[in-house]
Amino acid sequence: MDRLPMKWFCKFTLAIFLLSRMIPISSKLSAGEPNEFSPERAVFSVKFREEVSPYRVMGVFVLPQEEFTLEALDNKERKQYILETSAGQVEQVAVNKWRWRAPAETGLYPVKIIHPQMSDSITLNIFVLVPYKQLKGEYLNDYRIGNYPSIPWRQLPIYKPPKGFLEVTKENEETFVSPHFKLKQFLCKQESGYPKYVVLRERLLLKLEMILEKVNERGYHCENFSILSGYRTPYYNKLIGNVKYSRHMWGGAADIFIDENPKDDMMDDLNQDGKINYRDAAIIYDIIDDMYGKHWYSVFVGGLGRYRKTESHGPFVHVDVRGFRARWGD
């Protein structure tokens, strides 16, 4: 083969480089390409209050000295599970069922439930909240919360003020609240020092993990959704001109997108058309919407919205756990 003159070789190399910069890289896996995503499900589940979690790590949010039951659920052989904790008061009330009383002090108190033979366990990262009544005007320890609506929307209980706030510090913000999501991802975007405060619902975390698993099953590699907006204080929600009863203020909503390849704080080109736009958000939207109507999905029913790219953000999908179906988007 004849060798190219050096000037043509340089031009050819430059053209290839520029072309590679122009074509977005996708997180879509090729046919047959292995997906190494792990949902981090244990061989058993844990039931607490109205939730059931199969995940090896899960955040739980309680008031000081609140009591609730924990139960290990196993569909196979019934084993004698072990509960380990260094805080709170524990009473075993039945086989694989315990009553746990939270400490009086705000903070993080892990509880671990262990399978006796399978070397498998579930850790509940239990956060004791600062009660809502400790708000002084619009502030909680110099952090501006604002005012929750005095009248719940349509008198629905889920629109009453939250029972308390999770105190976030530099020491605990890296804590996993589910296998693939950390506490800091749900912080309000308003500027402030520490401590910060957040409201977060366990059911939202369970739903995000479920969606993440489904996205990977569909062939879109994603270790973790980027969260454009998680919790919003009423103060911040009003500041940005959002709706009065946004579910973000109750810790039950997240605006998400896939940012895997490249990592650039922007939605990936999921449909591989060379563009980053609402069609990429539509892929996530459709995966979530396809779950609607399944019997196991009934407890996760909520709002679902698709948003276009703007000057301030890329395309994304809103998801929440309001308890009834709502749809919107471009």
- Give the model's pLDDT for residue 9: 44
Peptide bond preceding 195 in cis form (omega within 30 of 0) = yes
pLDDT at 4: 43
Residue 28 domain-assigned? no
Per the domain annotation, does 18 fall within a domain?
Answer: no
Residues 6+ positions from 252 with CB-CB distance below 8 Å? 158, 201, 203, 204, 302, 320, 321, 322
Same domain, 120 and 141: no
Same domain, 49 and 148: no
Total tally of structural domains belonging to the chain = 2
Distance CA 314, CA 265 (A): 8
pLDDT of residue 19: 40
> Digits of tens for pLDDT over the chain (330 positions)?
444 455 544 444 444 444 444 444 556 755 456 668 999 999 999 999 999 999 999 999 999 999 999 999 987 767 899 999 999 999 999 999 999 999 999 999 999 999 988 889 999 999 999 999 999 999 999 999 999 999 999 999 999 999 999 999 999 999 999 999 999 999 999 999 999 999 999 999 999 999 999 999 999 999 999 999 999 999 999 999 999 999 999 999 999 999 999 999 999 999 999 999 999 999 999 999 999 999 999 999 999 999 999 999 999 999 999 999 999 986
Claim to verify: residue 69 and residue 215 sit in the same structural domain: no
Residue 13: its pLDDT value, please? 47
In a domain? residue 188: yes
- The pLDDT score that the predictor gives to residue 73 is 95
Amino acid letter, residue 221: H
Residues 92, 39 share a domain: yes
Structure tokens at 252: 């039950």
- pLDDT number for residue 304: 98
Q: Are residues 171 and 103 in the same domain?
A: no
**73, 106, 128 - which closes a domain:** 128
In terms of domains, do 121 and 171 share one?
no
Lookup result for tokens 């459709």 = 286
Q: What is the pLDDT of residue 33?
A: 64
Q: Which of 102, 128, 154 is the last residue of a domain?
A: 128
Note whether 155 and 259 are same-domain residues. Answer: yes
Does the residue 162 lie in any domain?
yes
Domain end (from 104, 128, 152): 128
Same domain assignment for residues 134 and 124: no
Is 208 among the domain residues?
A: yes
Contact 126, 87 (CB under 8 A): no
Domain encompassing residue 123:
34-128
Q: 97 and 136, same structural domain?
A: no
Do 144 and 262 lie in a common domain? Answer: yes
Q: Tell me the CATH number at 38.
A: 2.60.40.10
Is 134 found in the same domain as 120? no
- Look up the CATH number of the domain holding residue 311: 3.30.1380.10
Shared domain check, 279 and 230 = yes
Q: What is the pLDDT of residue 77?
A: 67
In a domain, 4, yes or no: no
Report yes or no on 7 lying in a domain. no
The answer for residues whose C-beta is within 8 angstroms of residue 306's C-beta and 6 or more apart is 278, 281, 282, 285, 315, 317, 318, 328, 329, 330
Look at residue 172 and tell me if it is in a domain. yes
- Please give the pLDDT value at position 118: 82
